[in-house]
Structure 1
């Protein structure tokens, strides 16, 4: 399949797309902005964040939880204000938050990474009942995903620079079982970036430097590949009225002037249709 261009943004590093209340939300990490796009009316709003922002997820109390560099904050779109909920890794000022997902218990699973993309300082965390704790996963340079199976039994953890996706069983107490290999990719695929699960447990992955998004069944078989006219596909969200419209974020980061001239739509939002709808929107309990 091929994607279609949807929205001109020109983001340095668009990430974290999520379908909430009939609109697409996403961020530009490096430009410190949060976006809301309504496809029905073709209208876009955006807000400035006080720090680099890796993701937003809807909160049960209203508004959103935003993954700012220093830690999760409550974000109120009505006022544009941010309220710190927890501080993460103050001893690692070069780290930032990168990607997140909410499970059926309202826990936020999120990871950190070295913003310079060199040190293995990225850690996976869980945010539950107002407290943050380290998840039972090895440190890597760039954490991505995580993606959570629709029955909350499996968490997929992406090691972007290692070109590997690991699978952890989620125990009844919310801790993770030891990782098992799920997928490893060659140089021709690009780097696995953000990941989500659909309603059937399929895993959609964006490939940075790979010009593609791919879906894998729970046994690791690739079922779909979608091609793009730009190199850096960061993550996919599933939404729309029937949950079967995919929205993909992309990035200009890392492209040379020559590559940017060849890819004028880099950093924009693309769309395509899928057979299997996304999971219901889950709201964080904080």
Structure 2
């Protein structure tokens, strides 16, 4: 039986990405990266669209009044009430050719954040670690940073350079979120359709991955075995997030970026945000520690 997939938001993003759920307000946030927009949808309420004036791709909760936003010039603090952005930590701010991309909060409160070339130039990006005001570059020569996510105990991190087709796994220090070993291949996706895009890890250690160009969300066991594949109604699903008061549902963003009018006509829901018709043992993003 095919898993049912329904539309959570019919607002069409050119590049829908970076979904993150705030359990305190029962609200899903996500981005239309290339158009500089932050989307905010209470699960029981109406969509709000915020024009950021800058390309941004990821959001984390600092506290009830502030959020941390990954943007093309680095990390900025957003005032929840006013929407005002205040620069916090520059990342590649002097390089107009790159922007932020996939990012996620480690269980300890550290933030892994990736960059990439705006035109997907080879090796133009990197993945950084940010914790209590300190910034370090973890991995260089990344073309498209994606799939940053962590096991619940903080001992494992996952990431990919989408251009390689390899989803990587690396041991981490649970107390700091810093890698403690060398990355190893977790899933080799090169012989399958589509590309490894955004991922999340549930309480059972299952990695849920959106397959860009593959019309699917795939779930992998902690040893890398494919457990299930959920067909999607769009060609380019981009990133999943656990949502709902129990974190037991999955929302998935998507994109029409790169498609001409004819291709878009064949993919009419491209750019919408979806709800997967299955129940999972998801978990909430930790709050990020900026100081």
Q: What TM-score, normalized by structure 1, do the two folds share?
A: 0.95
- Equivalent runs, 1:256-271 vs 2, <5 Å: 256-271=260-275
Find out whether 1:93 has 2:96 as its counterpart: yes
Note the C-alpha offset of 1:61: 6.5
8 Å CA contact 1:103–1:148 kept in 2: the answer is: yes
- Equivalent runs, 1:22-171 vs 2, <5 Å: 22-41=26-45, 43-60=46-63, 62-135=65-138, 137-171=139-173
CA deviation string 1:102-140 (max 9, x = no partner): 1122111111111111220211101111121112x3422
Count of residues in Structure 1 that have an aligned counterpart in Structure 2 = 284
Q: Distance in 2 between matches of 1:285 and 1:60?
A: 9
8 Å CA contact 2:127–2:142 kept in 1: the answer is: no
8 Å CA contact 1:244–1:273 kept in 2: the answer is: no
Note the C-alpha offset of 1:175: 2.6
User: What is the Cα-based RMSD across aligned positions, in Å?
Assistant: 1.5
Note the C-alpha offset of 1:278: 1.4
Note the C-alpha offset of 1:276: 2.6
Which of residues 259, 276, 283 in structure 2 aligns to 1:272? 276
Find out whether 1:231 has 2:259 as its counterpart: no
Which has the larger displacement, 87-96 or 191-200?
87-96
Q: Distance in 1 between matches of 2:164 and 2:62?
A: 32
CA deviation string 1:245-279 (max 9, x = no partner): 11110001011211111111110011113343212
- Equivalent runs, 1:205-244 vs 2, <5 Å: 205-244=209-248
Which of residues 175, 179, 194 in structure 1 aligns to 2:178? 175
User: Counterpart of 1:194?
Assistant: 198
8 Å CA contact 1:200–1:276 kept in 2: the answer is: no
Q: Which runs of 5+ in 1 are unaligned?
A: none
3-state secondary structure, aligned to 1:259: helix
Q: What TM-score, normalized by structure 2, do the two folds share?
A: 0.93
Q: Which runs of 5+ in 2 are unaligned?
A: none
